[in-house]
Amino acid sequence: MAADLEEKTDRYEGLLAEALDAASVAPPDGTPMHDAALECEEMAASYLEDGRHFRDDDDLVNALASFSYGHAWLDAGARIGLFDVPTEGHLFTV
């Protein structure tokens, strides 16, 4: 069980990091939607950082939860048009 949790945690960290790199803010600068996109991006990046902190402390459950929450911020933002993201592949459910 622990090996499965470790593998999944590592995989989700990689997915979140890759998704952050792949997502770009879609709405024009100076609009409320642009500001919302920046907030979602900041939340995802913060959850990535938090997850890495938890993993460094051998708290894999909270690390996995953080990586999952971070990806959810990006995925939800992509679905409502805050981010331009790849439509093919495994990173987003658009």
| pLDDT computed for residue 2 by the predictor | 63
Domain extent listing, the chain: 1-84
As assigned by CATH, the class of the 1-84 domain is mainly alpha
- Could you tell me the two tokens for 23? 């997502």
Instruction: Return the amino acid letter for 69.
Output: Y
* 38: alpha, beta or left? (left if phi > 0; alpha if psi -120 to 50): alpha
Q: What is the pLDDT of residues 36-66, one digit of tens each?
A: 999 999 999 999 999 999 999 999 999 999 9
Alpha-carbon span 18 to 88, nearest angstrom: 14
Torsion of CA 43, 7, 23, 88, to 10 degrees: -140
* pLDDT exceeds 90 at position 11: yes
